Amino acid sequence: MMPHVFVYGTLRRYGRNDIARFRPAPVFVGEAGIAGTLYDLGAYPGIVLGGAGRVVGEIYRIEPEVEAALDRLEEVADDDSGEYIRRQVRVALDGRWLDCLVYEIHPTRIVGRRVIEGGDWIAHAASNATAFSPPKD
């Protein structure tokens, strides 16, 4: 069975790294939300899992080749020292649960970064003319 991935940032539809550009083509499964806090890292967001907030995203079924490409894009390291850490979360979708990969930002990368209220990167990026925001001092 192919794994599922939950994407919440630039990999979402219409994002600058739209997951549809990967091959073999990922299969869209549905829109969903997970518990977490979304941070503005400038050109892209990062999620910290858990808590009371909700992060908007999409679920895709992917082939192992795409999973490997996503690991490279997200700079995942075997010792969890990379920019993102690959996690597995259970996501509710249409009355069923799917185990999904999700890329959580390394906690050292969010220091001084602004929380994206509403947890929706695409809406946040569209509301900012440059889609970039500097870290808070």
- Hey, which CATH number is domain 4-125, 3.60.20.10, 3.10.490.10, 3.40.50.150, 1.10.3720.10? 3.10.490.10
Mean pLDDT for all residues in the chain? 93
Q: Which two tokens stand for residue 22?
A: 């990967």
From the centroid of its chain, how far is CA 85?
A: 11
Q: Give this prediction's pTM.
A: 0.91
Annotated domain spans of the chain:
4-125
pLDDT digits (tens, 9 = 90+) for 37-93: 999 999 999 999 999 999 999 999 999 999 999 999 999 999 999 999 999 999 999
% of the chain beyond a pLDDT of 70? 93
Closest CA to 19 of 84, 63, 80, 76: 63
Residue found under tokens 């808590």:
51
